[in-house]
Structure 1
Amino acid sequence: MSADLAHIRQVMAEADCLYTDAQVEAAISQVAEAINGELAERNPVVFCVMNGGLIFAGKLLPKLDFPLELSYLHATRYRNETSGGELFWKAKPEISFIDRDVLIIDDILDEGHTLAAIIDFCKHAGAANVHTAVLIDKTHDRKARPDLKANYVGLPCEDRYIFGYGMDYKGYWRNAAGIFAVKGL
C-alpha cells in the first residue's frame, strides 16, 4: 500500500527547514576533512548503511583522498514507519574486515539501537577498530547506550522527526536537499 502522495507533498510544504543544502554540504566537507586526517593511513573498509546512509556516503566518499574498500550493509528498525521496532538485517557485510579498521557511514544517530548493533556485529566479527560517521546527531537523552557517540558528526539536530539527505518520512523525501522537520513531530 503506497502512501497518500497529497499527504507526502503537504508534509514537505509545511516542513521546517533546519539546515539548508549549503549548510549540509559544508558539514559533509568538515566530516571528510576529519576522516582524511585520522583514517588515511589505516586502510579502512567502509560500509554505507542502506538506505539512509546512501546520500551522505555518496557526497562524503569523493572527498576522502585515500584508498579504501567500500561495501554496504542494510539493517533497519523503522521499515517505513515513524517509530522504531526490532532490528531487521536485510544485508550483512560481504567484504572481510578481520583485523581491519571499519568506518560505518549512516544518516543519523538517534537513539542508536541500529548503530550500536552494527558496531557490535563488526567488533564481534573481528574488526580491529570501528569508527562511525553520521550526518545528523539528534540531541536528547534516549541513546541506546550512554557511551554511544559517533566519531564523526556532521550536524547536531533538535529532537524532531526529520527527513532529507537520506532520512525519510514514510519512505519518501530521502532526496530532499536539506534537513527538514515534520510540522508537529
Structure 2
Amino acid sequence: MPQATISLHNKEFAPYLTEAELLAAVRRVATELSRDYAGQTPLLIAVLNGSFMFASDLLKELTIDCEISFIRVASYAGTSSTGAVKEILGLQDSVEGRHVVILEDIVDTGHTMKMLLEQIGAQRPASLEVASFLMKPECLQHPLTIKYQGIVIPNKFVVGYGLDYDGLGRNYRDLYQAV
C-alpha cells in the first residue's frame, strides 16, 4: 500500500499507481519485447537517471538474450522540461547493424526522444524502437512512434519508481502525482 501524501522540497504528491500496477506494466512490455525479438539479441539503451528501475525490472522479466548499455541526458529543471536536451554520458557501444531498443522512464514533450532517435538512428542500427515506461500523449510536441508503452498517464507531474523532483523521490516503489 502506498504511503500517504509525501512532501518533496516545496511540493506535495499523492499516491497515484501502486508498485503492483507498475510491475504489471513492466511484465507486459517485457512479454512484447520477448516476442518481437525472439531469436535476436537486441541492445537495450537505458536513459539515465530516470529509467534505472524500469530497466532493472524489465531485464528480469525478459525471456530473450539481450545486452544493455546506459546513456545519460537531462532536459528537466524542477517540474518542467527546459526544452533543451543536454547529453551528460554518451553511448559507448556501436549500434551499427544492431537491433536497438531505447528504454525511457517517461516520454512527455518528446524533445529528448527526438534527439536520441536522430543521434542513434544516424549510426545505422538494423532497427530502432522505444520502450517508454510512462507516456504523456497530451504533452507530445514531436511526431513520435513509441512502439512499447507501459502506462499512459495524464499531464500531471509524477515521482517515484525512478522519477524525481529535483533529485528526490526516485526511491519510492509506487508512483505519486503532484497535487
Instruction: Tell me the percent identity.
Output: 27
Structure 1: 5+ residue stretches without partners: 1-5
- The TM-score, its normalising length taken from structure 2, stands at 0.90
Residue 175 of structure 1, aligned match among 160, 164, 171: 171
Structure 2 unaligned segments of length 5 or more: list them: 1-5
Q: 2:26 aligns with which of 25, 28, 34?
A: 28
Q: What's 1:166 paired with?
A: 162
Alpha carbon RMSD of aligned pairs, Å? 1.7
Using the alignment, how far apart are the partners of 2:125 and 2:42 within structure 1?
A: 10
The residue number in structure 2 matching 1:84 is 81
TM-score by length of 1: 0.87
Note if 1:19 corresponds to 2:17.
yes
1:8 is matched with which residue? 8
Contact 1:109 1:134 (C-alpha < 8 Å) held by counterparts:
yes
More helix by share: 1
Task: Indicate whether 1:144 and 2:141 are aligned.
Answer: yes
**Match 1:156 to one of 152, 157, 170:** 152
Choose between structure 1 and 2: higher strand proportion.
Answer: 2
1:150 maps to a residue whose letter is I
Which residue of structure 1 aligns with residue 49 of structure 2? 51
Query: Secondary structure at 1:84's aligned position in 2?
Result: strand
1:83 counterpart letter in structure 2 = S
Aligned residue type for 2:171 = N
Query: Which residue type is aligned with residue 81 of structure 2?
Result: G
Q: How does 1:122-141 map to 2 (within 5 A)?
A: 122-140=120-138
Residue 113, structure 1, aligned to residue 118, structure 2: no
